[in-house]
Amino acid sequence: MAKKLVAVVKLQLPAGKATPAPPVGPALGQYGINIMAFVKEYNEKSASQAGSIVPVEISIYSDRSFVARLLTPPAADLLRKAAGIQKGASTPKRTTVGTITRAQLRQIAQQKLPDMNANDIEAAERIIAGTARSMGIKIVE
C-alpha cells in the first residue's frame, strides 16, 4: 500500500526498558500510533543489548502505521565504553575524565558512519571528536 510519511522521530532509550511514560508517550502520542505496540517491539528488538542506550528511528505514516528501526548506539555511549568511564564531565573544558586513542576514535566513527550526517570518515571523526571534547574525553596519539 502506498503510504505517505508524516513524521520521523528518533528516540534514545535504554535497551529493553522503554515504557509508555516520557519520552515515548509525549513524543509518539500526538501521532495516534499504537504506543504499546511500539514499546513491545522496541524492547523485543533491543533486549540483547541490555545496558546500552539504543536509539530507534520511528517513521510514521498517514494511516497511523509506523516502522521502528534500531540504530547504532550513540557516540557518547561508545566513547564512554572506549574510555572506560561511567559518565562525561560536567565541566568538560576544565576537566579530563578519560582518554581514547586516534585508532579508537576511527573505530567509533566507522561504526557510527551509517547513521550519521557525515559524508566521509573524516567528517564523522570530527563530529565524534567534538562529542568527546564536550564530555571531557581527551584524544591521545
Partner 1 sequence: MQTTSWLEIAVEVDPESVETVAEILARYGYNGGVVIEQGWIAGDEGPEFQYDPHRPVWLRTYLPLDAQVEETRQQIEHALWHVHQIRPLGPIQTRTLAEEDWANAWKQFYSVMRVGKRTIIVPSWLEYQPQPDDIVLLLDPGMAFGTGLHPTTRLCLNLLEQLVQPGQDVLDLGTGSGILAIAAAKLGAGRVLALDNDPIAVRVAQENIDRNRVGNTVTVAEGSLGVGQAMGHWLSGDFGPPEPDPALHEHGLQATFDLIAANLIARVLITLAPDLATALKPGGLLISSGIIDVKEEEVAAAFTAAGLQPIARHVEGEWVALVHRRI
Q: Which residues bind partner 1 (CB under 8 A)?
A: 1-5, 8-14, 17, 19-29, 32-38, 41, 53, 55, 59, 61-68, 74-77, 87-88, 90-93, 117, 127-128, 130-131, 133-135
Of 65, 52, 64, 68, the residue nearest 9 (C-alpha):
68
β-pairing, 66-70 with 53-61? antiparallel
Residue 102 C-beta: closest distance to partner 1, Å: 19
Residue 85 C-beta: closest distance to partner 1, Å: 12
**For residues 8 and 103, which CB has a smaller minimum distance to partner 1 in the complex?**
8
Residue 137 C-beta: closest distance to partner 1, Å: 11
Residue 99 C-beta: closest distance to partner 1, Å: 17
Q: Is the peptide bond before 23 cis (omega within 30 degrees of 0)?
A: yes
**For residues 75 and 100, which CB has a smaller minimum distance to partner 1 in the complex?**
75
In DSSP terms, 53 is beta-bridged to: 14
Sign of CA dihedral 37, 40, 46, 52: positive
Expressed in angstroms, the distance from the first to the final Cα of the chain is: 53
